[in-house]
Chain A
Amino acid sequence: MLEVYRINVFYGDVHVLWDVSLKVAPREIVTVIGPNGAGKSTLLKALVNLQPAARKGREKEGGRIIFQGKNLVGLLPEETVRLGIAIVPEGARVFPEMTVLENLKMGSYIEAARTQRKETLEEVCELFPRLKERMQQKARTLSGGERQMLAIGRAFMSKPTLLLLDEPSLGLQPLLVTRTFEALAEINRRGVAVLLVEQNVQFALEVSHRAYVLENGRIVLTGKAEELLGSEHVKKSYLAV
């Protein structure tokens, strides 16, 4: 479904991602783990071109990002939404002056999602009942955790076939962390592929099929999620056991 082949990303002169390759198969949940600053968010941004893969003059180092047979390199972020990719950005990034309902509607602006808006909205409310209570409130009045729920709900609203999530559990209370990962598993059972960046390594690996470890901008380890849960390197560096 998604095939990333040797992408490189630069911030100015700083080389952030080095020849990163990864795959997500249809109906798969894949997690990328790694320390803070390793380039995980940059990787997600690069997939939807919020951050260009390679800089001007070094396009050859851009590699390929193939989604359902189409090369995403050079597409506008909004074009990737139409192709069926939705992203939950780091730190929620909801529209503060819009109500919760308006934020959710914004998630379903593409035609394919708009026609199913009512049903998807019900699914989101089922997932996060708190959002239902807050529907007419402006997003800026939400707590940190509520904003995170809204950002996930907004992404669901676009009816993606591939969902990218940058630390969805950030700032959520334990009960909602569990519920969010359950929700991701459920969404996945309904046919949506998921690519996840997450610091809650234990939960993320439990729900995932496969995982990659990204360190200093390079993939250093990959395997089935249960294998990585048992790996000495992962245990020591990411699970504190």
Chain B
Amino acid sequence: MTKGFGALTAVRNLSFSLQEGEILGLIGPNGSGKTTLFNVIAGVFRPDSGEVLYRGQSIVHCSPHEICQMGIAKTSQTIQPFSNMRVFENVLVAALYGKNLTMGKAREETARILKFMGLEGLGGEPAGKIPLPLRRRLELSRALATGARVLLLDEVMAGLNPTEIQESLEILKKVRNQGKTLIMVEHVMRAVMGISEQVIVLNHGEKIAEGKPAEVAGNPEVIQAYLGKRYA
């Protein structure tokens, strides 16, 4: 798949595949095309060439809302809840939309997800008023509530301290254990290396390495372009 903006090629000739239930870590320097790749998969951008196949079907001509209903949900780097709505209502909207449920069923599903995510006591709070780690958890809850099988997680650990990251990792493991497939864009090495089965490294829109976390972390090109000597 290739996607450019004017003179800039953000993602160039990239191929990879992912099995159901896997966790793929996507890393690479700032501006290397990771978020663009997410936006192509989620239908926000159409690729210039190439294909995106989901369960055998091409989705490059689908719009974001169709892709969401097909089972791929993306969280955003800059969290974007409906700030003036309550936590419960934020998740409810996702449940109603993604799964096409009746109001009664959607409420049950929302309550179940909030409990699963440890947010059950916060349903009545305005979404914009809760602390950042909980807002990130809300973002993930909304993605789950759509009934997605594949979650695209764009820097869900950003801005969390190591203790908060650890808590967040436990939650992602719970999500994985439900059979969800995850692609994580993340700069927090403790997180991405700790949970991914497979890691892909992008640089200037091209894949420069892929493999198990430990292999990738020891790759000299990855150290030079992305990690720096401290992590070598």
* CB-based contact B189/A174 at 8 Å: yes
B170-189 to A contact mask, C-beta < 8 Å, 1/0? 00000000000000000101
Interface size class of A (residues with CB under 8 A): 35 or more
* CB-based contact A35/B161 at 8 Å: yes
Distance between Cα atoms of A174 and B31 in the complex (Å)? 13
Q: How many B residues face the partner with a CB closer than 8 A?
A: 32
A75 is an interface residue with CB less than 8 A from chain B? no
A145-189 to B contact mask, C-beta < 8 Å, 1/0? 110110000000000000000010011111111110000000000
Our pick among A33, A171, A174 for the contact of B158 (Cβ within 8 Å) is A171
* CB-based contact B77/A144 at 8 Å: yes
B109 is an interface residue with CB less than 8 A from chain A? no
**What residues on B are CB-neighbors of A199 within 8 Å?**
159-161, 164
In chain B, positions 72-122 with a C-beta closer than 8 Å to chain A are: 77-78
Our pick among B131, B133, B155, B161 for the contact of A144 (Cβ within 8 Å) is B155
B29 is an interface residue with CB less than 8 A from chain A? yes
* CB-based contact B31/A130 at 8 Å: yes
- Interface residues, chain B, with chain A CB atoms under 8 Å away: 5, 27-32, 35, 77-78, 131-133, 155, 158-166, 187, 189, 225-231
- Interface residues, chain A, with chain B CB atoms under 8 Å away: 33, 35-37, 91, 130, 141-146, 148-149, 167, 170-179, 199-202, 236-241
> Apart from A35-B164, A239-B163, what 17 extra A-B contacts exist at CB < 8 Å?
A33-B161, A36-B131, A36-B160, A141-B5, A143-B30, A144-B35, A146-B30, A148-B30, A173-B30, A174-B226, A174-B227, A174-B230, A175-B227, A179-B228, A202-B162, A238-B161, A240-B163
